[in-house]
């Protein structure tokens, strides 16, 4: 077996705050293969963005333990000088809101060219030509002219395309896209998502797609990791997850989606309660205060130890004690 492009093992991230230690990510494992898309889904505070920043080495003020290997190279604990040579070059990030993630003072072309030159050197002219090329690749019309414009002169969708172009400019192996479509109109969302998945397939990239939107997962992901309260609660290929969700949280998420085949006037089913506090998380399974299975059984195992991920079917893992019962 070849080494996976990205192998994350027992990754944990904590922040020391005035109110105490926040366990943002509590030991998760996943791998991303070349040419495949891993969707990480979860609500705000589930630890999905922190995970991606920790992999990139952009977690400032956090303590990261565990392992994340990019193509066999350990990233966690690596000196920043070394990480810097990988960032942008081997692994690149697409951030959520391109308006704030791109620098307001510099032209889009300059920002892309800067990334290219910092890794490959060469002349300004060559780097600028490269910037124009990638802007064209992501479907920006008149790329030579748009490269000389500033981010605020772009529309939201074009700006996100420029952000993707920036990530692509150094031909990385891995792209981490953190809520890449969240700030966009629905129609533009679909275009940007299709662009990302097309580029990913064409170039055989590993793509980590972080989102709270199951629609995005359904459209683009090959494998899915569901996060809740800083832990992975379910892991499966996308098809299995949507057809046979195992964890009560995943099922709650799927149930809360509006369905075209539902009877008219059917109320949407929200998951009751609120996401857990990371400062004082519930004991045992973080989901138990909101879980219908716990409500029905009051099982003491739910409030004891945090249940680990267990394989429940080929390649399908879930972290629910009731899995045998409720499956």
Partner 1 sequence: MIGYLLRRLAAMAATLLVVCALTFAVFYLFPADPAVQFCGKDCSTERIELVRQQLGLADPLIVQFWHYVTGIFAGQTLGTGQYAVQCGFPCFGYSFQSAQPVWDLMMDRLPTSISLALGAAALWLLLGVGTGVVSALRRGTRLDRTLMVGTIGVAALPVYFTAMILLYLVVTVAGLLPYPRYIAFTEHPGQWISNLILPWITLALLNAAIYARMTRNSVIETMAEPYVRTARAKGLRERRVVGKHGLRPALTPVVTMLGMDLGGLLAGALITESLFSLPGIGKLFADSLNKSDQPVVMGVTLLASFFIVSSNLVVDLLYAWIDPRARLA
**Binders of partner 1 among 125-164, rule CB under 8 A?**
150, 152
Q: Say if residues 193 and 216 touch (Cβ distance below 8 Å).
A: yes
**Binders of partner 1 among 225-244, rule CB under 8 A?**
none
Closer to partner 1 by CB, 52 or 250: give it. Answer: 52
Q: What's the CA gap between 240 and 253, in Å, rounded?
A: 15
Closer to partner 1 by CB, 102 or 209: give it. Answer: 102
Which listed range, 79-87, 225-233, 263-271, 298-306, lies at the site for partner 1 (CB under 8 A)? 79-87
What's the min distance (Å) between Cβ of 166 and partner 1?
A: 7
Length of the chain, in residues: 327
261-274 in b/e burial notation, b at 16+ Cβ within 10 A? eeeeeeeeeebeee
What's the min distance (Å) between Cβ of 50 and partner 1?
A: 13
Residue 75 binding partner 1, by CB under 8 A: no
Q: What's the CA gap between 201 and 51, in Å, rounded?
A: 24
**Binders of partner 1 among 86-125, rule CB under 8 A?**
86-89, 92-93, 95, 97, 100-105, 114-115, 118-119
Q: What's the CA gap between 207 and 38, in Å, rounded?
A: 6
Q: What's the CA gap between 320 and 234, in Å, rounded?
A: 9
DSSP string computed for 5-53: SEEEEEEEEEEEETTEEEEEEEEEEEEE-TT-EEEEE--TTSSHHHHHH
Interface with partner 1 (CB under 8 A), residue total 27
Residue 84 binding partner 1, by CB under 8 A: yes
**Binders of partner 1 among 52-71, rule CB under 8 A?**
56, 58
What letter does residue 87 receive in the DSSP assignment?
B
Closer to partner 1 by CB, 125 or 152: give it. Answer: 152
Footprint on this chain of partner 1 (rule: CB under 8 A): 56, 58, 80, 84-89, 92-93, 95, 97, 100-105, 114-115, 118-119, 150, 152, 166, 170
């Amino acid at each position: 077996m070849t080494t996976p492009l990205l192998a994350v093992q027992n990754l944990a991230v904590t922040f020391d705050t005035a109110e105490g230690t926040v366990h943002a990510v509590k030991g998760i494992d996943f791998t991303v293969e070349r040419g495949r898309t891993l969707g990480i889904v979860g609500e705000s505070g589930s630890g999905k963005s922190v995970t991606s920043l920790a992999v990139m080495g952009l977690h400032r003020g956090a303590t990261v333990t565990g392992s994340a290997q990019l193509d066999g190279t350990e990233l966690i604990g690596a000196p920043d000088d070394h990480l810097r040579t990988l960032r942008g070059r081997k692994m690149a990030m697409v951030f959520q809101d391109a308006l704030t993630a791109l620098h307001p003072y510099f032209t889009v072309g300059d920002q892309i060219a800067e990334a290219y030159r910092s890794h490959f050197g060469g002349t300004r002219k060559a780097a600028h030509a490269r910037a124009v090329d990638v802007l064209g690749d992501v479907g920006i019309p008149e790329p030579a002219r748009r490269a000389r414009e500033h981010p605020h002169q772009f529309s939201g969708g074009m700006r996100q395309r420029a952000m993707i172009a920036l990530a692509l400019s150094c031909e990385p192996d891995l792209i981490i896209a953190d809520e890449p479509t969240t700030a966009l109109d629905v129609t533009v969302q679909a275009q940007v998502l299709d662009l990302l998945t097309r580029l990913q397939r064409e170039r055989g990239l590993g793509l980590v797609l972080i989102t709270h939107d199951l629609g995005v997962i359904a459209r683009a992901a090959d494998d899915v990791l569901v996060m809740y309260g800083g832990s992975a609660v379910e892991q499966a290929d996308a098809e299995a997850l949507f057809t046979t969700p195992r964890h009560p949280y995943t099922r709650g998420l799927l149930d809360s989606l509006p369905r075209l085949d539902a009877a008219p006037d059917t109320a949407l089913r929200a998951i009751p309660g609120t996401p857990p506090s990371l400062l004082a998380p519930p004991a045992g399974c973080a989901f138990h205060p909101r879980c219908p299975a716990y409500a029905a059984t009051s099982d003491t195992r739910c409030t004891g130890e945090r249940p680990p991920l267990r394989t429940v079917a080929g390649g399908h893992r879930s972290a629910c004690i009731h899995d045998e019962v409720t499956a």
